Amino acid sequence: ILLVGDLTNFGHAPAGREFIAALQRHLPRALAVTGNCDYPDVAPVCAAAGVLLNRTHRACGGLLFLGLEGSLP
C-alpha cells in the first residue's frame, strides 16, 4: 500500500503515531508520504516506523517509488 499524503486531519505527532500503529497492524509493508494536512512532526513518526518515503526512494516488487512531501510549514 502506498499512502500519498494527508495521513492526519491537521494532526500532530500523536495523531500520526495512532494512525501508523493502526496501519501497521493490518498492512505491515505500507509506505507513506506526508501531505499538506500533516504537520512536520508527523514525518519523524513515520520515519521511526519505517514507512516514510519523503525525499527518498525505495524499490519494491520491481517498482521504484519516489516520495515528495507537502506538509504544513
Contact 1, 31 (CB under 8 A): yes
Predicted TM-score (pTM) of the model is 0.87
What HEC string does 5-33 produce? Answer: CCCCCCECHHHHHHHHHHHHHHCCCCEEE
Reference 2, options 34, 44, 32; nearest CA is 32
pLDDT in tens, the chain (73 residues): 899 989 999 999 999 999 999 999 999 889 999 999 999 999 999 999 999 999 999 998 899 999 987 766 6
Q: How many residues does the chain have?
A: 73
Contact 10, 41 (CB under 8 A): no
